[in-house]
Structure 1
Amino acid sequence: MKFFHYLKSKSFNDYETKHHALPADTVEEPCHPGLKTYERAQCFSISMALLPVVLFLTAVLLPSFPTEGKDPSFTALITTQTQVQREIVNKHNELRKSVSPPASNMLKMEWSREVTANAQKWANKCTLEHSSPNERKTSTKCGENLYMSSDPTAWSDAIQSWFNEHHDFIYGSGPKSTGAIVGHYTQLVWYSSFRVGCGIAYCPNQESLKYYYVCQYCPAGNNVSKKNTPYQQGAPCGSCPGNCDNGLCTNTCEYEDLLSNCDSLKKTAGCEHELLKEKCKATCLCEGKIY
C-alpha cells in the first residue's frame, strides 16, 4: 500500500523530500515522520479566510473503486447515522483534551445538524476547493477541514491525520519551519470552536480521489491574530470552574465578535451602543462564557 498526502494553502510532512515548481500561492513540503519507511508522501498547502484548510489522502489499493459508491465500507461512514456522529465527536474531544501543553479553555465539541447540512451539501459538489465563507456560515462564521481518499477511510483516521500536524507546530511560536502545514491541526483544537458537522460523498467523476470528507467548525478557528496560540495554556478547565466535563469546558457562547477591540469598546461606549449590538455580541451577551 502506498499513501500520498496532499495539502494546499493560499498563505502560508520522511523519507525523500522533493521540491517542485508550484503555483505562487502553494508550497510543497515533506510529510510527517510517522509514516512507515516503505511509504512515500508529498504534501503541499491552500487556506482561505480564517485559514481553513484542506487535506487530500490517496490510498492506492486493490480492488478498484466500487462503480457507484455502494461499498458497505462507504455507507458505514455516512454521517446521518448516530454511531458515526458519536465517533466523530468523541474523536475530536479525545484529541482536544490531549493537547500539549494542556488547555485551560478548550470547549467540548458537540454535533450540529445545521453545520452537518452545510458540510454535506458542500461534499456533494465533489470539488477540490474549500466552500466560500457564506456557504458554511450559520449564526457565526465557520471553519472547514477537507480530506479526500481513493478508498473509504475511517472518520477517526481522517481526523487523526489532521491532528498529526501538531508534530510541525510549536505552541506560542507556530509552524516549526516555513511552509509547514498546521492549519488542520489548529482548527481542530481551536478553543472556541464547539459545534462540528461533517459530510462525506462518493465522487465518481474524480480520477482517483473519489471519497470526499468535509468537516465544518463553528465558530471558526484560525483567527490570524491568535494562530500561534489556538487555546489558552493552563490546567484543564482552569478557565471554566464549575463548567467542566472530563477536562473540557462546557460554558459555550452562541455568538462571536466581529471586531478585535470589543472589550475596549464595551468599556468606553457600552453594550447599548448600536455598533456593539451588531459587532460585539459575544462580548456583550456571553459574560462568564468562553468565546
Structure 2
Amino acid sequence: YLCCPILRLLFTACLLSTMIYTSIVPYETVLTKSANVQEEIVNKHNALRRTVIPQARNMLKMKWNENAAQNARNWSKECEKDHSPQFKRTITNSLCGENLLFASLPVSWSDVIQMWYDESKNFTYGYGPINPESKVGHYTQTVWATSYMIGCGVAHCPHGQIFKYFYTCHYCHGGNNPATFTTPYKTGIPCGDCPDQCEDRLCSKKDFRDCLVQMVHNQECPLKKILGKR
C-alpha cells in the first residue's frame, strides 16, 4: 500500500498499489470509452453503496459523468504515482475526489473498486480508522453519500518497473471532508431521507440529490426542513 497521510484527506482519497488479483483481463476490456465498462463501474459502486453497514438513509445513486471520466483518463496517462492537482479534477466548478490504483497486470474494474471498498474492514462508522496505520480513504470516498457523479480511466504505463497499469476514478462532488470523515453518510433505514425518491435503497431523484449537495455546502434548498442538517 502507498497511501497519503491523514492531512491530505480533504476531497481526495489514497493511492493503492497491489499485486493481488482475483482476475486478470485483457487491457482492452477495461478501457472506459466502452458503454459496458461505464455501466460496470456505476453498477459496482451502486451495489456497494446500497449494502453499506450500518445502513445509509441518504445514499445517492451514482451516475456516469463523461467530463470527470476524461479528467481521470488524462491523469492515468500521466503515469504519475501521486494525486492529480485540484485543477485537473474539477468539473463545472465542482472539485472531485480521487481514488487511484497501480497494478502490475490489468484487472477488472469490479475488482479494483472492490479492493478500495474492502478497506471497510479497517473502518468503524462514527470512529474512523481502527488504528492510525489503517488505510480507509478509498472506502470512505467510494461510499461518500453526496459523491454521485463518477468518471474513471486507465492507462498502460510501460516504463513502470512493476506496476504498469494505472487506474483512476474521480468522484464528484468530492468526499473525505475531515469535518465529517468518520460519518461518510447518515445512518438509518435505506432511503429514510428520500422515501418518495428512492430506487433500490438509493436516493435517485434530482431535487433530493441537488438539495443534499447544497446543504453540504451550506446553501438553502426547499427540502432543507425535511432533510435536516448533515
TM over 0.5: yes
Q: State the distance in 2 between where 1:105 and 1:173 align.
A: 19
Match of 2:173 in 1: 219
Q: Between the two proteins, what is the percent identity of the paired residues?
A: 40
Whichever residue aligns with residue 114 of structure 1, its letter is N
> 1:227: Cα distance to partner?
0.3
Gaps spanning 5+ residues in structure 2: where? Answer: none
Whichever residue aligns with residue 61 of structure 2, its letter is K
CA 1:210–1:258: 2 relative to 1, 3 Å: farther
* TM-score normalised by length of structure 1: 0.71
Larger helix proportion of the pair:
2
Match of 1:50 in 2: 11
Q: Say which of 13, 16, 26 aligns to 1:73.
A: 26
Whichever residue aligns with residue 125 of structure 1, its letter is E
Gaps spanning 5+ residues in structure 1: where? Answer: 1-5, 13-46, 61-70, 263-282
> 1:222: Cα distance to partner?
0.4
Match of 1:187 in 2: 141
Moved over 6 A (4+): none
1:153 paired with 2:107, answer yes
> 1:247: Cα distance to partner?
0.4
> Which aligned pairs between 1:17-166 and structure 2 lie closer than 5 A?
47-59=8-20, 73-139=26-92, 140-166=94-120
Aligned residues: 220
> 1:50: Cα distance to partner?
2.8
> 1:10: Cα distance to partner?
2.1
Q: State the distance in 1 between where 2:51 and 2:212 align.
A: 26
Whichever residue aligns with residue 223 of structure 2, its letter is G
SS in 1 for 2:19: strand
Structure number with greater CO (CA < 8 Å, separation at least 6) is 2
Q: State the distance in 2 between where 1:108 and 1:222 align.
A: 18
Does the Cα contact within 8 Å between 1:104 and 1:237 map onto a contact in 2? yes
Does the Cα contact within 8 Å between 1:59 and 1:151 map onto a contact in 2? no
Whichever residue aligns with residue 7 of structure 1, its letter is L
Whichever residue aligns with residue 118 of structure 1, its letter is N
* TM-score normalised by length of structure 2: 0.89
Cα RMSD for the two superposed structures: 2.3
Q: State the distance in 2 between where 1:287 and 1:206 align.
A: 51
1:8 paired with 2:30, answer no
Whichever residue aligns with residue 148 of structure 1, its letter is F
